[in-house]
């Protein structure tokens, strides 16, 4: 028994102690782990939330923290056609404008294309690079816009600069989908959503800006708006822009009248309006009569 006892070694420096290592003589200096411990220390790993916090976020229990964050969406530079390819113009639409003098801009208010809400083609417009009827192509919009949180209407959009009446504020973009796919997404992808960002496109199609679009998706409804939507055609496809209906001062919130139809034309699906204007209709969109609802 005494022989076995003499061969036993007692390690006083921890589970992964290596007696062959040269120990530091600094006070309160302990040897680093070895083997698995050393591997774990040197391994780089991306930060992850603890499971309890991550699960609470997934379940939507951290409402106070998440309520102040802007809804996530992907900003896009042009519409995305989900079910088809973009159409091309069958023929060029040429206006009858006369090229102006050097330093002046042509295709003004009397331009036939402008009056028909068609943008001129730079390859065939008589005014060439002096054409002023190419706002969507040149992205001549108000760039100083800010998304902010309102008191009682969720998120909104306001301008940080003065906007003149008739100016293009921003283009409304998103995914171009059919009405059928829109209804499918309403019943599946967006079944638990409270806010929707749809705009009627053309020929039974819809602009879906729920996940992909521009800051135009944050513009709130008002029964007395300072903006309106215009449909313009360019290159075989339509472009929808938010235009100023009046002169708008800096730091003013932007509004337009949604004027949408409720699903199934039911009174139950109407949404209350909180715009606070004197001529408020009480609901967002068209008023559904009790006779039509029956």
**Interacting residues of 118 by C-beta distance below 8 A, sequence separation 6+:** 93, 232, 233, 234
Tell me the C-alpha to C-alpha distance, in Å, between residue 69 and each of 99, 130, 274. 50, 43, 22
All domains in the chain, ordered by first residue? 84-133 (no CATH), 141-172+216-294 (2.170.270.10), 174-213 (no CATH)
Structural contact between residues 193 and 186, judged by C-beta atoms closer than 8 angstroms: no
Three-class HEC string of 101-137:
CCCCCECCCCCHHHHCCECCCCCCCCCHHHECCCHHH
Q: Are 249 and 272 in contact (CB under 8 A)?
A: no
In 25-41, which positions are buried (b, 16+ CB within 10 angstroms) versus exposed (e)? Answer: eeeeeeeebeeeeeeee
Task: Write out the chain's pLDDT in tens, 294 residues.
Answer: 444 555 666 655 555 555 555 555 555 556 666 666 677 777 777 777 676 655 555 555 444 444 566 778 999 999 999 999 999 988 888 999 999 999 999 999 999 999 999 999 999 999 999 999 999 999 999 999 999 998 888 899 999 999 999 999 999 999 999 999 999 999 999 988 888 899 999 999 999 999 999 999 999 999 999 999 999 999 999 999 999 999 999 999 999 998 866 555 555 557 788 788 888 888 886 655 444 333
Q: Is the dihedral of CA 236, 241, 246, 248 positive or negative?
A: negative
Q: Residue 244: enclosing H or E segment and its boundaries?
A: strand 237-244
CA 17, CA 34: separation in Å to the nearest integer?
Answer: 7
Do 248 and 226 contact (CB within 8 A), yes or no? yes
Give the pLDDT confidence score for residue 292 in this predicted structure: 39
Q: Are 284 and 255 in contact (CB under 8 A)?
A: no
Q: How many CB atoms lie within 10 A of CB 243?
A: 19
């Amino acid at each position: 028994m005494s022989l076995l006892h003499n061969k036993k070694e007692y390690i006083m420096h921890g589970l992964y102690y290596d007696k062959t290592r040269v120990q530091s003589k600094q006070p309160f200096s302990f040897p680093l782990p070895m083997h698995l411990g050393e591997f774990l220390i040197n391994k780089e790993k991306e930060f992850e939330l603890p499971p309890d916090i991550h699960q609470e976020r997934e379940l939507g229990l951290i409402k106070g923290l998440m309520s102040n964050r802007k809804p996530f969406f992907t900003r896009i530079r042009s519409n995305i056609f989900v079910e088809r390819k973009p159409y091309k113009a069958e023929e060029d639409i040429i206006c009858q404008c006369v090229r102006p003098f050097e330093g002046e801009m042509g295709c003004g208010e009397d331009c036939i294309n402008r009056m028909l809400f068609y943008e001129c083609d730079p390859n065939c417009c008589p005014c060439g690079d002096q054409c002023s009827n190419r706002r969507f192509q040149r992205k001549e919009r108000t760039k100083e816009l800010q998304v902010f949180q309102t008191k009682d209407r969720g998120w909104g959009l306001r301008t940080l600069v003065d906007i003149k009446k008739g100016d293009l504020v921003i283009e409304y973009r998103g995914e171009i989908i059919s009405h059928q796919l829109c209804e499918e997404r309403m019943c599946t992808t967006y079944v638990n959503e409270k806010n929707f960002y749809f705009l009627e496109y053309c020929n039974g199609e819809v602009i879906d800006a729920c996940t992909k679009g521009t800051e135009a998706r944050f513009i709130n409804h008002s029964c007395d708006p300072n903006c309106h939507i215009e449909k313009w055609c360019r290159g075989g496809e339509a472009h929808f822009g938010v235009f100023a209906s009046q002169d708008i001062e800096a730091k003013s919130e932007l509004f337009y009248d949604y004027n949408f139809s409720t699903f199934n034309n039911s009174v139950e699906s109407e949404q209350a309006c909180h715009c606070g204007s004197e001529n408020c209709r009480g609901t967002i969109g068209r008023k559904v009569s009790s006779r039509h609802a029956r």
